[in-house]
């Protein structure tokens, strides 16, 4: 059952231990466009500054097997920092991201509730969450670097060998291929999927819609394909410095090579919002609500229906 649950979670955004970069965007506010308003959205990072982000994810999942419902909840909080190493005259920045702390709570009857903090000296956990505790512990301290253009486009991810080794060591060596699948390219693909959106180069007005670059991530049940589109809504009436962007996310699943299981997305909906501070030139907050119904067909005609609803938020903290 663990494989199916992991796959349902991965379809939202990151996948397994790479939830950190994560991240993108919230339920639409339904603002009326401001007549005559136009804006060029640009990041304004400064060399030497440190941005502190808090990522929170809450997921409710229901798995139906032979008319029996198995419900579970998961909450995860990640404290992440961006350290700006340098900024070019054009505003393009070299950034080092680091995961400082990970906290996770899982309630999955009939098992004992799982509550783990990477800052804790505790390294064990009640079964079947021993492997999860090891992964959470491995995430803390993980680092990677990237380049961000002033438009928000992110490229040139680099993941140190020691970070990859630590994350691989946090996965179970059970012969299932999890460690072998955790390559630098796989991590890079996951980070790209959860990166901030690239804003249009030109000045935009409320109502302007643009598409993000599709992302593809491998999973135990196939290749997860994520398409995102963005619509500029204009300034927040309560704070004109905050520019609001609505987001829509569509998730698809292409069949994989796993001959034991197959999966089909029956329905999905992802809507969110991004708040961009035009004065400081950075994302202030994002929220995304993703709903998905997945049908999984297993061996011996075993069919599993999985429904998940995940709310992810990211906020810039002082």
Q: What is the pLDDT of residues 177-207, one digit of tens each?
A: 555 567 777 788 778 777 889 999 999 999 9
Supply 72's token pair: 């579970």
- The CA distance from 105 to 122, in Å, is 15
Give the integer Cα–Cα distance in Å for 212 and 220.
25
Would you call 238 helix, strand, or coil by DSSP? Answer: coil
CB neighbour list of residue 159: distance below 8 Å, 6 or more residues apart: 144, 184, 187, 188
CA angle 15, 217, 103 (to 5 degrees): 10
Hey, how many other C-beta atoms are within 10 angstroms of the C-beta on 287? 20
Q: Half-sphere exposure of 67 toward its Cβ, with a 13 Å CA cutoff? A: 0
For residue 10, the model assigns a pLDDT of 35
The set of residues, in sequence order, having a beta carbon less than 8 Å from that of 292 and lying 6+ positions away, is 8, 11, 12, 251, 265, 267, 268, 269, 307, 308, 309
ω into residue 211 within 30 of 0, thus cis? no
What per-residue confidence (pLDDT) applies to 278?
A: 96
For the chain, state the CA radius of gyration: 20
Query: pTM of the full predicted structure?
Result: 0.80
Give residue 258's pLDDT: 63
Question: How do the domains of the chain map onto residue ranges?
Answer: 2-317
Alpha-carbon span 180 to 168, nearest angstrom: 8
Residue 27 dihedral angles phi and psi, to the nearest 5°? -60, 130
The predicted structure's pLDDT at residue 94: 98
pLDDT at 173: 63
The mean pLDDT values, 10 residues at a time, for the chain of 318 residues are: 37 34 31 62 97 96 86 95 97 96 91 87 74 84 94 92 83 58 75 86 96 82 88 96 96 77 89 97 96 85 87 94
Which residue shows structure tokens 């460690």? 179
Give the pLDDT score at 166: 82
Bond from prior residue into 216 cis (ω within 30 degrees of 0) = no
d(CA 238, CA 235) in angstroms, rounded, equals: 8
CA dist 124 and 140 (Å) reads 16
pLDDT of amino acid 180: 58
pLDDT of residue 186: 77
Cβ atoms 8, 306 nearer than 8 A: yes
Q: Is 197 helix (H, G, I), strand (E, B) or coil?
A: coil
CB 60 within 8 A of CB 293: no
Beta-carbon neighbour count of residue 294 at 10 Å? Answer: 23
3-state secondary structure of 259: coil
CB atoms within 10 A of CB 3: 16
Whole-angstrom distance, CA of residue 196 vs CA of residue 191: 10
Q: How far apart are CA 140 and CA 267, in angstroms?
A: 34
Class for the domain spanning 2-317: mainly beta
């Amino acid at each position: 059952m663990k494989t199916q649950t992991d796959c349902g979670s991965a379809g939202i955004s990151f996948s397994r231990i790479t939830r950190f970069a994560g991240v993108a965007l919230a339920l639409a506010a339904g603002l009326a466009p401001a007549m005559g308003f136009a804006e060029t959205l640009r990041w304004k990072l400064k060399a030497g500054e440190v941005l502190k982000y808090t990522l929170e994810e809450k997921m409710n999942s229901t798995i139906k097997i032979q008319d029996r419902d198995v419900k579970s909840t998961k909450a995860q909080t990640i404290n992440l920092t961006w350290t700006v190493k340098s900024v070019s005259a054009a505003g393009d920045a070299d950034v080092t991201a680091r995961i400082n702390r990970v906290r996770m709570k899982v309630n999955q009857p009939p098992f004992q509730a799982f509550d783990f903090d990477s800052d804790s000296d505790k390294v064990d956990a009640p079964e079947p969450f021993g492997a999860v505790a090891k992964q959470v512990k491995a995430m803390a301290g993980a680092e990677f670097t990237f380049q961000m253009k002033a438009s928000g486009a992110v490229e040139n991810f680099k993941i140190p060998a020691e970070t990859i080794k630590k994350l691989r060591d946090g996965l179970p060596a059970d012969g299932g291929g999890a460690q072998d699948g955790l390559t630098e390219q796989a991590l890079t693909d996951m980070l790209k999927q959860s990166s901030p959106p690239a804003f249009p180069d030109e000045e935009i007005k409320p109502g302007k819609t643009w598409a993000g670059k599709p992302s593809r991530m491998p999973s135990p049940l196939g290749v997860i394909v994520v398409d995102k589109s963005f619509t500029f809504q204009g300034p927040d009436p309560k704070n004109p410095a905050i520019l609001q962007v609505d987001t829509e996310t569509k998730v698809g699943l292409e069949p994989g090579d796993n001959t034991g299981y197959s999966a089909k997305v029956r329905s999905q909906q992802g809507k969110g919002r991004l708040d961009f501070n035009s004065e400081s030139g950075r994302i202030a907050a994002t929220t995304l609500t993703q709903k998905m119904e997945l049908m999984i067909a297993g061996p011996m005609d075993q069919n599993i229906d999985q429904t998940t609803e995940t709310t992810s938020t990211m906020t810039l903290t002082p």
